[in-house]
Structure 1
Amino acid sequence: MPEPHTDPLDRVRAAAAERGLDIEIRERPAAASLAEAAVLLGLQPTDIVKTLVVKRADDSYLFALIPGDLAISWPKLRTVVGVNKLRLPEPELALRATGYERGTIVPIGSTTDWPVYADASIVGRRIAMGAGAHGYSLFVDADDLIAAYGATVADISQPAEPR
């Protein structure tokens, strides 16, 4: 289990190496929107994947990997997980559960290896996601990430609400 006090980027790199996962971490400028972030990274919005830490009623957690242009579908995720209650935790609980601040969360190098649930739409793609620290993005082949973490792949997303 990675030490929470170590540099987050070092934790991510070490955890990826332990699992034989080929990752690339790039510094990136701040973006005001998903569309702007995609342009800055040379990607489509669907290739930017959010890692959501989700709290169960028993105070355990899981990770849900959702493409940036979609939203989590709570009914679908509850069905796949087999529970009646799930929620997003407060930022301090997410930090305590993963060792990462909200907006940087990634399963790789989390202080606890919580189960990973990946939306089926990411299969077969190279994705960008949080890298454990603000101002950085991590690039990885989704299939390799899914295999390295034994992730459950299912349809757990829905169209995002227009803003």
Structure 2
Amino acid sequence: MSAERARAAIEASGLEHTVTEHGRVASLEEAAAARGVEPRDIVKTLVVRRAEGDHLFVLVPGDREIAWPKLRELLGVSRLSMPDAATAQQVTGYARGTITPFGSLSALPVVADASLTGDPARTISLGAGAHGVAATLNAEHTLAYLDAQVADVTSTPTHSASLS
């Protein structure tokens, strides 16, 4: 049901998009190939906890990871954490690995990494509420629709990335 909620929210946004269903994948590269995009264009939607009952979405390019000091500075807090899978699902209605800002049970603020902007023609691929289901949309239009706060909040990972 969560995939239907996500698709309905994406449709309701009016954003031009393509939905891809490819099933589970074992790597970022495999997901990118299945979706017809570059690994940097796969966007992970992460739920971050600022305080009890205070969460936000952070949109992170697939080839990057959250730079916690940068995100803490942006948000003006000294501590952030990732909620456990059950809490993330309770807040969003989506299981970990399927989370999307579209159709979330809670309207959460969105922070998007600055590396997602700058090219008006760039497309990004976000999860769409189920494992192996994604929506590919124009990056600039999507971030504007989500009223995302755009900032440098990521870094290049020190280890290889994977998707769950």
Please report the TM-score for the alignment, with normalisation by the length of structure 1.
0.90
Task: Give the 5 Å matches for 1:125-136.
Answer: 125-136=122-133
The two structures, once aligned, show a CA RMSD in angstroms of 1.3
Unaligned runs of 5+ in 2: none
Unaligned runs of 5+ in 1: 1-6
- Aligned equivalent of 2:18: 24
When structure 1 is superposed on structure 2, of 117-126 and 64-73 the one drifting more is 117-126
What secondary structure, in the 3-state scheme, does the structure 2 residue paired with 1:86 have? coil
Percent identical pairs in the alignment equals: 46
Q: Deviations over 1:33-81 (max 9, x none)?
A: 1112222222211010100011112321000000011010111111111
Q: What residue identity is the alignment partner of 1:113?
A: A
Q: Structure 1 residues 17 and 29, CA, compared in 2 at 3 Å: closer, same or farther?
A: closer
What secondary structure, in the 3-state scheme, does the structure 2 residue paired with 1:143 have? helix
The equivalent position to 1:145 in structure 2, one of 114, 117, 142, is 142
CA distance in 2: counterparts of 1:57 and 1:150, whole angstroms: 21
CA distance in 2: counterparts of 1:20 and 1:41, whole angstroms: 21
Please report the TM-score for the alignment, with normalisation by the length of structure 2.
0.90
Query: How many corresponding residue pairs?
Result: 157
| 2:72 is the alignment partner of 1:78 | yes
CA distance in 1: counterparts of 2:112 and 2:94, whole angstroms: 19
Q: Deviations over 1:57-108 (max 9, x none)?
A: 2321000000011010111111111211111110000000100000000001
